[in-house]
Structures are given as C-alpha cells and as structure tokens.
Chains A and B, each alone.
Chain A
Amino acid sequence: MKSIITEPMIPKPFRIHRKLKETHDTYTIELESTNGANGFPFSAGQFNMLYVFGVGEVPISISGDPSMPKMLKHTTRSVGIVTKAILKLRSGDVLGVRGPFGSHWPVNEAVGNDVVIVSGGIGLAPLRPVLYSFISQRDKYGKIILLYGARTPEDLLYKKELEQWRGRFDLEVKVIVDSASGNWRGNVGVVTTLIPRIQFDPLHTVSMICGPEVMMRYTLKELQNCGIKNENIFVSMERNMKCGICLCGHCQLGPKFVCKDGPVFCYDHIKELFGKREI
C-alpha cells in the first residue's frame, strides 16, 4: 500500500514544453508529464512545489486554465536561487513537480454574485485560473471586475490576454502602474485608487485579492469602505512553504498552515492574524 505521507513528497518528472517571456525577469513555463499522463487536475489558487534537480524546490502558484489540465503552467519571477535556475532551463528540460497543494479561490461560492479581483505584480498569476473559470461560465456571475496594478507598463504580465479581456463587453478590466513615462496612456497610481472608481453591489460581491501583503492591507481597507463584508473577501497569503503537506511548519501563520489551510484564506478567518508583525 502506498504511504499517504511519502507519496506527496515524491516529485513527478515534467518536461518543459515551452517558455514564454512575460517581462524582463518573469516567465511562464508550460509543463507536460514525461510519462504521458492525461493531466494534472487542480483548482484555481493552488500551488505546486517545483524542483530543479540538484538546486532546490520552490512553491509556485499554478497560472494555467483548470479546464485544460494536460498542460501545467507556472509563471515565475527570477528572484532566488531556484527561480533563477528554473528560468535557465530550456524546452525539453525536466523538473520535478509535487502538488497540487493548498486551498482554492471560491469560484463556485461566487456564483450569482459580482466579483472584484484585485491583483498586484506577480499576484495576477494565481488569479489567472480564476479568470479562465469565470469566463468559461460567464453567465453564472454578475459583474466581473479585474483591477491590476504593476510597477511599470513593462512589468505587466499577460499583456495579450489583458488586451483580450479588456475588449470583452462582459468584463471590466482596469490596469494601473506605479510610474510611467513616454507613451503610456493608461492609469498611473496605486491599485487601491481604482476601487472607488468601480461600481458593484457590495452586499452581493465576492472579492479576491493577491499581491504583496502591504498592497493587500490597503486594498482590504478600500473594499471594506465600499461595504464588502469580511466573509466575502478572500486573500492569497505567501509564506515559506516547504513540505506542502502541513508537516514541517515552515509556513505557519499563527495557528494556520499556509500550505494546507491556505494559500487562499477567507479574510474573516485570518483577520486577527493579517498584518500582525510577529507572524
């Protein structure tokens, strides 16, 4: 009998099918199973542990379409030893994958409601699967609004898809950058300033936020000012995930474990922990 403890600790080999450059330091890698397995089912918001053999392992959110599990997609930024090593890999190279781990965005729970998605920087990556899910079942939701903040126009992820989403009549997409020069004709400022400019029914709105924690803190404040209830706000937290199965304790957030209880949390369940300096 297979051990339920050890199996999730064994990386499965996946081959890099394609590497797409998103920005100067961020790539999306498309992975296929080396053993021809049919797919890799996951829910929007979950993450995998990606293992570069001989270098190390990192938790990276899945950024692909949950309805197309055959091709696993991860968007990663070159910031540490492992992510730098990932981005040095080429098509055909193999890396190890463990997962999917963690909780997911409340895609089904949001049915019948307006949805406000607020993302910052690379925080759009874990939210892209949500957008795919919403678009594929568009008639089940009220308004769908995406607010996306980035550092500069050059740092925007998924530029082509953003253009496509902006072109749809049934999606409201607002993009803002912290600073810009030259030909940028879009918004400049912080993503929180977009919130008062959108219209939604606060009593029937589900909001999903992903980005740097300080950005989420100010976003929460704005959403609460608009009247969205804490139980309808969901955030994706980032901590030092190692085992992915709630054994090692590296990702502990007070009494919660981000790898298992999260990374997606209902804000109401962690409001006492959110922004607490000691944790």
Chain B
Amino acid sequence: MQTLEPYLAEHPFLKGLEPHQLKIIVGCATNVQFDVGQYILREGEEANNFYIINFGKVTLEIFTPDRGPITIQTIGEGDVLGWSWLIPPYQWHYDARAIEPTSAIALDAKCLRAKCEEDHDLGYEFLKRFTHVITQRLEATRLQLLDVYGVH
C-alpha cells in the first residue's frame, strides 16, 4: 500500500524536513475529501487539524449578521489551510468551505502539538514554515486593506 510519505516529502511546505520528522507527520496524516459547499472549519470550533490541499478550491469566510458570509480569501492546490492549531486557545478564527470538490491531506493537530512539545526541533521547523505562510497572508491582507483599485 502506498503511503503519503513520498507526496508529503515533495510538498513545498514540508520539503527539507529530516526523515524522522517526516515520519512523525506521515503518522498524523490522512486523506480527506470535501464536497461542494461542505464546511471544513467553523469559526470558534476547536482547531484539531490543518490541511494541505491536493486539489479543489476553498473559501475562507467570515460570517457577518448583516451581509452573511464574506469571502476573504480563496486557496487551492498546494496551499496550506489553518494555523490556529499552533496558537492557544486553538480555535478557528474563520470558516472554511469547499466551493469545488476538494481533496486534501488532513494532519492531526493535537497529535502534532504533542510531538512538537516533545521534539522542539520539529516544533521550530513548523513555526518557521507557518510563519512564512502567515506572513504571505498578512501581506495579502494589507494589500486588500489598501483598496488599491478604489478611487482615492
């Protein structure tokens, strides 16, 4: 039976990890599928997983009582979904919903948090990689806030 190891070893987000670190991650990984419209995360719920998207499209949404769900970003193939599992209180800050049939690798965050506590090198690697993702999202958010296409 083919494991997820070869795929995860080549994924840009995980590339370069030590073999034993990769084995830990593979042990926490499962393949998951989401139908169109299916919620992957819900704001306020416990952040027990994060995801590496194989294919499909996912919207990150904030629900507002007056305007309903507002899409703040879409992510797709190769992207990483969710970093709230790393930061207390480990709760999602937004909703994520599949808007195309989506396949992803789910990583058990509770398991990984425990492993990161045991192996600080692994924890540091995760923090470095997620900081990069968070920085990209922050930069994109700042550009969105600038409203560069608006009339000024």
**Residue contact A212 to B148, C-beta cutoff 8 Å:** yes
Interface size on A, residues (CB 8 A): 31
**Residue contact B149 to A184, C-beta cutoff 8 Å:** no
**Residue contact A189 to B146, C-beta cutoff 8 Å:** no
By DSSP majority rule, is chain A's interface helix, strand, loop, or mixed?
A: mixed
Interface window among A50-58, A147-155, A158-166: A147-155
Interface window among A29-37, A109-117, A173-181: A173-181
Residue in contact with B143 in the complex, picked from A77, A155, A180, A214, CB distance below 8 Å: A214
Say whether, besides A179-B144, A218-B143, A185 and B149 are in contact (CB < 8 Å). no
The closest CB in chain A to the CB of B59 belongs to: A188
Residues of B12-68 whose CB lies within 8 A of A: 57, 59, 67-68
Q: In the complex, A149→B148 CA distance in Å?
A: 10
B47 CB to nearest chain A CB (Å)? 22
Q: In the complex, A79→B69 CA distance in Å?
A: 31
Q: Mark A184-213, 1 if CB is under 8 A from B, else 0.
A: 111111101100010000000000000110
Using Cβ atoms and an 8 Å threshold, which residues of chain B touch A270?
none
B12 CB to nearest chain A CB (Å)? 9
B66 CB to nearest chain A CB (Å)? 11
Using Cβ atoms and an 8 Å threshold, which residues of chain B touch A179?
70-72, 144
Q: In the complex, A179→B144 CA distance in Å?
A: 8
**Residue contact B140 to A189, C-beta cutoff 8 Å:** yes
A23 CB to nearest chain B CB (Å)? 11
Residue in contact with B69 in the complex, picked from A155, A181, A190, CB distance below 8 Å: A181
**Residue contact A187 to B151, C-beta cutoff 8 Å:** no
Q: In the complex, A150→B67 CA distance in Å?
A: 20
B131 within 8 Å of A (CB atoms): no
Q: Mark A93-126, 1 if CB is under 8 A from B, else 0.
A: 0000000000000000000000000001110000
Q: In the complex, A120→B149 CA distance in Å?
A: 7
Residue in contact with A214 in the complex, picked from B70, B74, B77, B146, CB distance below 8 Å: B146
Q: In the complex, A188→B78 CA distance in Å?
A: 16
B118 within 8 Å of A (CB atoms): no
Q: In the complex, A166→B6 CA distance in Å?
A: 34
**Residue contact A150 to B71, C-beta cutoff 8 Å:** no
Residue in contact with B149 in the complex, picked from A151, A186, A197, CB distance below 8 Å: A151
A139 within 8 Å of B (CB atoms): no
Using Cβ atoms and an 8 Å threshold, which residues of chain A touch B70?
179-181
Say whether, besides A180-B71, A189-B74, A79 and B151 are in contact (CB < 8 Å). yes
A126 CB to nearest chain B CB (Å)? 15
Q: Tell me which of B78, B139, B144, B148 has the highest count of chain A C-beta atoms within 10 A of its own C-beta.
A: B148
Using Cβ atoms and an 8 Å threshold, which residues of chain A touch B150?
151
The closest CB in chain B to the CB of A191 belongs to: B143
Q: In the complex, A197→B76 CA distance in Å?
A: 9
Using Cβ atoms and an 8 Å threshold, which residues of chain B touch A77?
151
Q: In the complex, A197→B74 CA distance in Å?
A: 12
**Residue contact B68 to A181, C-beta cutoff 8 Å:** yes
**Residue contact A215 to B148, C-beta cutoff 8 Å:** yes
Q: In the complex, A157→B135 CA distance in Å?
A: 30
The closest CB in chain B to the CB of A193 belongs to: B140
The closest CB in chain B to the CB of A221 belongs to: B139
Say whether, besides A25-B151, A121-B148, A155-B149, A215 and B77 are in contact (CB < 8 Å). no
B80 within 8 Å of A (CB atoms): no
**Residue contact A190 to B144, C-beta cutoff 8 Å:** yes
Residue in contact with B140 in the complex, picked from A181, A192, A214, CB distance below 8 Å: A192
**Residue contact A178 to B139, C-beta cutoff 8 Å:** no
Q: In the complex, A193→B73 CA distance in Å?
A: 10
Q: In the complex, A212→B148 CA distance in Å?
A: 6
Pick 15 A–B contacts, CB within 8 A, sort by A.
A79-B151, A120-B149, A179-B70, A180-B70, A181-B67, A187-B76, A188-B72, A189-B73, A192-B140, A192-B143, A193-B140, A197-B76, A197-B77, A211-B149, A215-B149
**CB-based closest 3 A-B pairs:** A121-B149, A151-B149, A212-B148
Since A77-B151, A215-B149 are in contact, a sample of 20 more A-B pairs with Cβ atoms closer than 8 Å, ordered by chain A residue number, is: A79-B151, A151-B147, A151-B150, A176-B74, A178-B147, A180-B70, A180-B71, A181-B69, A181-B70, A182-B68, A185-B99, A188-B71, A188-B74, A189-B144, A192-B140, A193-B140, A197-B76, A211-B148, A212-B149, A214-B143
